[in-house]
Amino acid sequence: MTVFSIMRIFRFFLIALLFAAHAVAGDLRFQPPSSPLNFGDFSANDDIFGNIGRGDPELLTVSLTPESGTIAAGTPFRLILALSHHGDGYTYWTNPGGPGVGTRVKWTLPEGFTVSEPEWPTPERYANGGMNFYIYKGKASLVYTVTPPAELRPGEKLTFKGEVDAQVCTPRSCVPTRLPVEAEVLAAEVPGAVSPVAKSAVAALPGEARGWRFEAADADGALVIALRPLDGANPEPGEIHFFDSRSNPFVDSQLAQRLEQAEGALWLRLPRLPGPARAGENLIGHIRAENGWLAGGENPGSFRIDLPVAAEGEGLPPGLQPAVERRVWALFAFAFLGGLLLNVMPCVFPVIGLKIMGFAKQAHRERRTVFLHGLAYTGGVLLCFWALALVVITMGRGWGAQLQSEWFLFALCHIFLIMSMNMAGVFEVGAGVAGAGTRAWPRERG
């Protein structure tokens, strides 16, 4: 490598560092992690790629409030995590609906204390970029139940700390954010009175169903919830929507839910995500009525439901019985058509000519050699996509979530920078491998 080439490489990296410095001072807000990454510390539910931003107080502020200033040994109490979204900022529900990550907290508790998973208020539906999401805007509160140990010293001051891990978004972009929270309480003989803040947060949570009876059944690739009115039910509940809160949802949030009326009941048809029915697993989530569920005074808008799913078609009225035959061949036909359409994409179309030239060059080769070449090519493509699918499944994240990480984008920019330098002739990578492949191919017979 000549001195001139080394200088060109140096200039390229200098430009890249200048862009990185601009990103540090600008919107990306890079922040180095507080400790070296240890991939052994991550579980399938951890976000390896994100959660390194400092947070933007113009979009989200958080606070932690105990339901009472004093607590008693062995008596559970609540901590209220208040999320205040500003401007057009929003965060995600436990099931984001589309690509996204629900808000989580990493707790630092006094010795002997345990904390539950959060109770979530019902989110709102939000459409952006042709996809549906479940989000919070404005003010929302997550409720955690904390259990103290059996013994506490009266008068002892106890501090509860947490690191809120949220994906804060606007209609244009998302920023993984970490924000610290802290709350203090005093140990006493008896717990204190519940604060208005805690009462309001608990009241905003969906309660157990009343005034209605809910049942679930499988119906030809969809799930159907039967809504049967009882005494006190609102006869005009309006639009109804079910929010699936399972970590592995049954319901496809990207497709419409259809409400029908038959035999004195309402029937909500839910589009099921692909995959076989999971025996013994219930349909769990929130179900919201636009006009509320009950007639008269108190009228809750949402209920929390946990329903066993009846066998396919069981208990459904005739109009909702499975009637559509599953045509697997049609699914394969549409998949094949989609593959053909992908050939006109800008990243594929220019290569078609090269492939045709490759086919023409192979025309006079042995049939077995050509077949093995095609088999190896197909196998390589399948193995690559299976490997990507395995990574996504292992991480428990949708493909594309890594693009919300500043560090991933930073690394990706440098990879493309190095590739462009290689293509510009600054240096060559892979020439030896390509030459080996050419030499391995049988020579043309004269």
Q: For residue range 388-411, what is the model confidence (pLDDT) as tens digits?
A: 888 777 765 556 666 666 777 888
Q: Do domains 57-189+197-203 and 208-320 have the same CATH topology?
A: yes
pLDDT above 90 (res 154): yes
pTM, 2 dp? 0.66
Range list of H helices, 26-150: none
Which region, left, alpha or beta, applies to residue 233 given φ > 0 means left and ψ of -120 to 50 means alpha? beta
Per-residue exposure over 8-35, b if at least 16 CB sit within 10 Å of its own CB, e if not = beeebeeeeeeeeeebeeeebbbeeeee
pLDDT above 80 (res 79): yes
- So what CATH class is 208-320? mainly beta
Query: What are the domain boundaries of the chain?
Result: 57-189+197-203, 208-320
Q: Percentage of residues in the chain with pLDDT exceeding 90?
A: 43
Which region among 132-136, 231-235, 302-306, 369-373 has the lowest average model confidence (pLDDT)? 369-373
> Which amino acid makes up residue 314?
E
CATH T-level fold of 57-189+197-203: Immunoglobulin-like (2.60.40)
Residue entry with tokens 């399972």: 246
pLDDT top residue among 130 and 106? 106
pLDDT top residue among 58 and 20? 58
pLDDT at res. 27: 43
Q: For residue range 406-443, what is the model confidence (pLDDT) as tens digits?
A: 777 888 888 888 888 777 777 777 666 555 555 555 55
Q: Which residues pair with 107 in a beta bridge?
A: 162
pLDDT at res. 324: 45
Contacts of 238 (CB under 8 A, 6+ apart): 289, 290, 291
> Which amino acid makes up residue 29?
R
pLDDT at res. 320: 52
In angstroms, the CA 327 to CA 332 distance is 9
Look up residue 374 and give its two tokens.
């095609």
Chain mean pLDDT for the chain: 80
